[in-house]
Amino acid sequence: MTKFKEILKKNIYSRDDIIYLISQSEHEQLLFEKAYEVKKKYVGTNVYFRGLIELSNICTRNCFYCGIRKGNKNIDRFQLSKEDIVEKAIWAYEAGYGSAVLQGGERSDPEFINFIENVLKLITHKTNGKAGITLSLGEQTEETYTRWLNAGAHRYLLRIESSNPDIYHNIHPDTDKFSSRIAALKLIQKCGYQTGTGVMIGLPQQTYADLADDILFFKENDIDMIGMGPFIPHHDTPMANAFDNFDQMAEEQLKLALRVIAVTRIIMKDINIASSTALQALDSKGRERGLLAGANIIMPNVTDTQYRKGYQLYDGKPGLDENCNSSRINLEKSIHNTGEKIGYNMLGDSPHFFERIKNK
């Protein structure tokens, strides 16, 4: 106990301190409380919503963990129309969400790049440039990132999945290079986006030291936004049986993710951190627990119910039978129960982004 408290009190954590804090579950409540204090001081207790639009499950990649990987023949592929995407983005804007997140499988063919560019221009036009737009569409060229930025997107999420190249290569086909992932993340930052990344927590062979290095990677790379969550096996992927008894370890997996979120908040202070849907997949109150451990962003799904089943990255995805209205109502209730407020009609930008730009 004393060692845990001694470390918590420090102003600067060493790598060993971080490893210790994320490895100890016994006193984790103290860690969550400290993270909550830091969050309150640096970003406040408003929770900002980002309306998640899962625009397509068509993917050219074969990531070993992901349910919408190209090699999964057991799902029907869909692609929302331009009108549907724009309508959902406007719904999110009018509902007072800080941004719409356009996420989907990875494609980089000219048709897709044009399609996204046109969607962005339409959303920007219809909302007089006032809607926040975040993209989560994988690795692209500098030209594509720039075109999408100029068309109206201003935030981009690209998880590095793990900062340990060996783990990265273990969970991806040979064609996917860790160095390309990092290069893409740097391009996003260079182009001028508010830049988000993250990792999966609790991957096979991932150690506490790896997770500490993930947090140090976020710090060294001056990241503005973090989205990270527990790894959850999907039955139709090569990693379906990564663990013998995943159901029995689900709560531990969730708590490990919460500790990593908490330490990230304490170290990074003024960034935005998402309380990911994967937390909710492991516990119906998982996202609220994330808020109490230092997260300040939630991404309510605004995709139409009929498409939600087709976009399952992992097993146990929650909210499959909800629609955008019921998702919103359920969330409002449970967030109010945590004592936090929802920052409606505010962009909820990462304060860190403006600090980073100012110091350049």
Does 65 help bind ligand SAH (rule: CB under 6 A)?
yes
Rounded to the nearest whole angstrom, what is the least distance from the CB of residue 86 to ligand SAH in the complex?
20
Angle in degrees, CA 353, 103, 122, rounded to 5: 85
Does 314 help bind ligand SAH (rule: CB under 6 A)?
yes
Structure-block tokens of residue 149:
């930025």
Does 250 help bind ligand SAH (rule: CB under 6 A)?
no
Residue number with CB closer to ligand SAH (276 or 296): 276
CA dist 149 and 162 (Å) reads 26
Does 103 help bind ligand SAH (rule: CB under 6 A)?
yes
Query: Which residues are CB-contacts of 275 (< 8 A; sequence separation ≥ 6)?
Result: 261, 286, 287, 288, 289, 290, 291, 295, 296, 297, 298
Kindly indicate which of the ranges 6-14, 98-106, 254-262, 291-299 contains the residues binding ligand SAH, using the contact rule CB under 6 A: 98-106
- Considering only 56, 124, 127, 136, the residue that binds ligand SAH (CB under 6 A) is 136
Rounded to the nearest whole angstrom, what is the least distance from the CB of residue 128 to ligand SAH in the complex?
28
Does 234 help bind ligand SAH (rule: CB under 6 A)?
yes
What's the chain's Rg over C-alpha atoms? Answer: 19
User: Within 13 Å of residue 356, how many CA atoms lie on the same side as its CB?
Assistant: 21
- Considering only 159, 172, 287, 328, the residue that binds ligand SAH (CB under 6 A) is 159
Strand ranges in the chain using DSSP code E only, listed in sequence order? 46-56, 99-104, 133-136, 155-157, 194-197, 200-201, 225-230, 272-275, 297-298, 341-342
DSSP helix/strand/coil, 296: coil
Binding mask 24-63 for ligand SAH (x = CB under 6 A): ----------------------------------------
Kindly indicate which of the ranges 11-19, 229-237, 247-255, 261-269 contains the residues binding ligand SAH, using the contact rule CB under 6 A: 229-237
- In this structure, the number of other CB atoms found within 10 A of the CB of residue 335 comes to 19
The residues of the shown chain that bind ligand SAH, judged by CB under 6 A, are 65-66, 103, 105-106, 136-138, 158-159, 161, 200, 229, 231-232, 234, 278, 313-314
